[in-house]
């Protein structure tokens, strides 16, 4: 059985008719991002353990890690990272070598980096050195 814990109202709606067990984090709805946020969301996430957390971000920087543009969303992601055994970062090719406002997580907490195109040799070597499984 697959269970999905999500703060995404959009994901919840899209998967409502699937065979996946869905658990909502609850919290305050951000109407711009259709995500649930806030203290309640963080408290509910803290009740659970997840095998793997899949997340996106706005930018990747070798020195700074994964970066995001929304502080409230970054706090929710950080809470989920603490509850996960493994973390998969799902990004398109435009996120490499891109800065964003909020530091989300350093690469020592990332197990998988999944992207749509082959990254440059420097990123391939970086992932290898940091034991990050690169999937493209």
Residue 109 burial (C-beta neighbours within 10 Å; 0-12, 13-18, 19+): middle
Identify which of 104, 57, 124, 113 has the alpha carbon closest to the alpha carbon of residue 86. Answer: 113
Q: What is the pLDDT along the chain (136 residues), one digit of tens a residue?
A: 899 999 999 999 999 999 999 999 999 999 999 999 999 999 999 999 999 999 999 999 999 999 999 999 999 999 999 999 999 999 999 999 999 999 999 999 999 999 999 999 999 999 999 999 999 9
Are 65 and 87 in contact by the 8 Å Cβ rule? The answer is no
- Chain centre distance of CA 99: 16
CA distance 109 to 30: 27
pTM here is: 0.92
**Which tokens is 64 given?**
């700074």
Domain residue ranges of the chain, discontinuous segments joined by +: 1-48, 51-136
């Amino acid at each position: 059985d697959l269970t999905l814990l999500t703060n995404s109202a959009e994901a919840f709606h899209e998967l409502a008719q699937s065979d996946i067990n869905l658990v909502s984090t609850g919290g305050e709805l951000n109407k711009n991002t259709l995500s649930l946020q806030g203290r309640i969301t963080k408290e509910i996430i803290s009740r659970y353990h997840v095998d793997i957390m899949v997340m996106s971000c706005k930018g990747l920087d070798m020195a700074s890690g994964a970066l995001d543009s929304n502080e409230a969303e970054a706090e929710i992601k950080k809470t989920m990272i603490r509850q996960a055994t493994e973390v998969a970062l799902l990004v398109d090719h435009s996120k490499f070598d891109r800065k964003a406002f909020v530091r989300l997580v350093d690469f020592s907490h990332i197990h998988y980096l999944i992207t749509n195109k082959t990254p440059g040799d420097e990123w391939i070597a970086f992932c290898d050195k940091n034991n990050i499984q690169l999937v493209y």
